[in-house]
Chain A
Amino acid sequence: MPQYMLIMRGTDETNAAMMADIDEMMAATRLFIEETARAGVYVAAEGLDDPGQGVVVHFSGEAPVVTDGPYGETKELFGGYFLLDVASKQEAVEWAKRVPAVPGSKIEIRRVPGEDEVPQDSGKFVKEGRLRESNGQI
């Protein structure tokens, strides 16, 4: 079954507002996770640290370039996610509406394709599989 990722997208302002009431936010988030677990749809969730502590690896030139950040270049910051195993996109939307979120922030909902959606039997895949099998790799 496909899973859906609820991606938390905040701004510098919403992140600051969240940090101001972080205990309350953590408690509300824990309740939300418990609710999804009782509904049998919870798979995983993570929240990310202050983006100011992060680094960005840029693949723009020949060699990757590492900078502090992200600063200034992104209006919306990926702040964390919930991964839910639900029956439909609409159900993911209904759960997203229940996420405790700071006013001004957004949640983006993206489907995670199932393993069974990866195309099978492309010639290369099969050949490589046989090769690895004969090598005892799998």
Chain B
Amino acid sequence: MGTADVEAVWRIESARIVAALTRFTGDFGLAEDAAQEAVAEALVSWPLASPANPGGWLMATARRRAIDAIRRRTALQDRYALLAAEPVVDEEIDPDRIDDDVLALMFVSCHPVLSPEARVALTLRVVGGLSSEEIAHAFLVPVPTVQARITRAKKTIAAAGVPFELPPAGERGERLGGVLSVLYVIFTEGSTATSGDRLLRPDVAYEAIRLARTLAALQPDEPEVHGLLALCELTAARFPARTGPDGSPILLEHQDRRRWDFSAIRRGLAALARASTRGLGPYGLQAAIAAAHASAPSVEATDWDRIVVLYEALGRIAPSPVVELNRAVAVAMASGPAQALAMVDELIASDRLANSYLVPTVRGELLARLGRRPEARAELELAARLCANQRERSVLLRKAAALS
């Protein structure tokens, strides 16, 4: 077996191994270290001799490394004695328990004591099974930065005494929201890279979808989990049409809708149906908006009135200036640019989206539609100056130039 084979087994097994070892040792940081040692050993020994049961091999090796580590900590003699007395439990992992343990692992990785960056790195590492190199590549940061974030996160969890358990009922909703927002951050990094020369990073978005599917399987009765999954699937369905052959972005109105991934749309609509059982939450509403686009044969044939209503609902339960801006765009499509421009100007007056390139982008588009070309051009040039993604920036500059 080669490196790619070891990585493949690791992708499948890592969350279960770290979860089981954390349960076993009561120490998340130690469990993660031991699991990493096991995979490092696998990378050396599997190419020479493949184990018959690779998953069991990793679990047994990680367990031995965990025991070694505990043995080195003389202060923990009592706990070691307890461990040594236990039989090897590799074949006896209770599937119901391991599900709860993997879920607990997600909650620990997304714990509010951690910085947002640390939550993302830790979730991808321990639940997603990605290496520090892969995480660094996904977020365009140096590898040592990712390693430092993970090390610090493990120390923070230990220092804060974060228990390895499902959050109590009273905190469950809020903590689940925390997990969902980490997955959403990962997804949006893949669907609109905040920096760099590529607009889309489907491999990063894929990790978020995979984690959202895992969460949906573990928490099937939580509508917002399905809402987030639906949002991710429906957004990713448009990826094949979102960039041209040279990597430049193609806006929704110009996308070749035949290139949309209809299997992903079908999965997204199915997830949305499961999210709709008790009224839609913020992710469900955004998914419903994405579904309105996914079901429309063209921009003109899109149900913009419905999209306006969905944005209004979203603005009520999750108010944000970005939602307001999107609502303005929908209003422009449903009722014309004049009314939308007034909404955008109101947003600017409230100074809630200062320095975002999105405001001048939308304002520039609206002014252009109203025939106010010099003003439109100035807005689009301002947007280009504020935009960090090179691909998007060049589109904005092209549009501005077309208005002269």
A-side residues, CB < 8 A to B, are: 1, 34, 37-43, 85-88, 90-91, 93-95, 114-116, 118, 120-121, 129, 133, 136-138
Contact = CB atoms under 8 A, between A and B. Distances in A.
Contact of B99 (A38, A116, A120, A136): A38
Nearest to A97: B54
Contacts of A87: 8, 11, 206
Report the 6 A-B pairs with minimum CB-CB distance, sorted nearest first: A90-B8, A40-B213, A40-B210, A115-B240, A91-B8, A116-B240
B214 A138 contact: no
B245 A120 contact: yes
26 contacts: A37-B213, A37-B217, A39-B214, A40-B209, A40-B210, A40-B211, A40-B217, A41-B213, A43-B267, A85-B206, A85-B210, A87-B8, A87-B11, A88-B4, A90-B7, A90-B8, A93-B5, A94-B5, A94-B54, A95-B12, A114-B240, A115-B261, A116-B259, A121-B245, A133-B298, A138-B258
A18 B99 CA distance: 29
B285 interface: no
A91 B99 CA distance: 21
A38 B218 contact: yes
Determine which residue in B99, B206, B267 has the highest number of CB atoms from chain A within 10 A of its CB, and name it: B206
B9 A40 contact: no
A91 B5 CA distance: 7
Given A38-B218, A39-B214, 13 more contacts: A1-B206, A38-B102, A38-B214, A41-B210, A42-B213, A43-B263, A88-B8, A90-B5, A91-B8, A115-B261, A116-B239, A116-B240, A138-B297
Contacts of B263: 43
Among B12, B202, B239, B267, the most chain A Cβ lie within 10 Å of the Cβ of: B12
Interface in B41-86: 54
B256 interface: yes
A94 B12 contact: yes
Give the one of A40, A41, A95 with max B CB within 10 A.
A40
A94 B298 contact: no
Interface string B284-303: 00000000000001100000
A138 B12 CA distance: 40
Contacts of B214: 38-40
Interface in B1-50: 4-5, 7-9, 11-12
Most B CB within 10 A of own CB, among A38, A85, A137, A138 = A38
B212 to A, nearest CB: 7
Contacts of B239: 116
A129 B297 CA distance: 13
Given A1-B202, A38-B214, A115-B260, A120 B11 contact: no
Interface residues of B, number: 35
Interface of B: 4-5, 7-9, 11-12, 54, 99, 102, 202-203, 206, 209-214, 217-218, 239-240, 244-245, 256-261, 263, 267, 297-298
Contacts of A88: 4, 7-8
A88 B5 CA distance: 9
A34 B102 CA distance: 14
Contacts of B244: 120-121
Nearest to A35: B95
Nearest to A130: B256
A108 B20 CA distance: 32
Contacts of B258: 129, 138
B95 to A, nearest CB: 8
B203 A1 contact: yes
Contacts of A37: 213, 217
A138 B5 CA distance: 43
A111 to B, nearest CB: 14
Contacts of A136: 298
Contacts of A129: 256, 258
Contacts of A94: 5, 8-9, 12, 54
A137 to B, nearest CB: 8
Contacts of A40: 209-214, 217
Nearest to B4: A90
A137 B202 CA distance: 29
A96 B12 CA distance: 12
Nearest to B220: A37
A138 B102 CA distance: 44
Nearest to A83: B263
Contacts of A43: 263, 267
A62 to B, nearest CB: 32
Contacts of A85: 206, 209-210
Contacts of B210: 39-41, 85
A133 B9 CA distance: 46
A136 B267 CA distance: 27
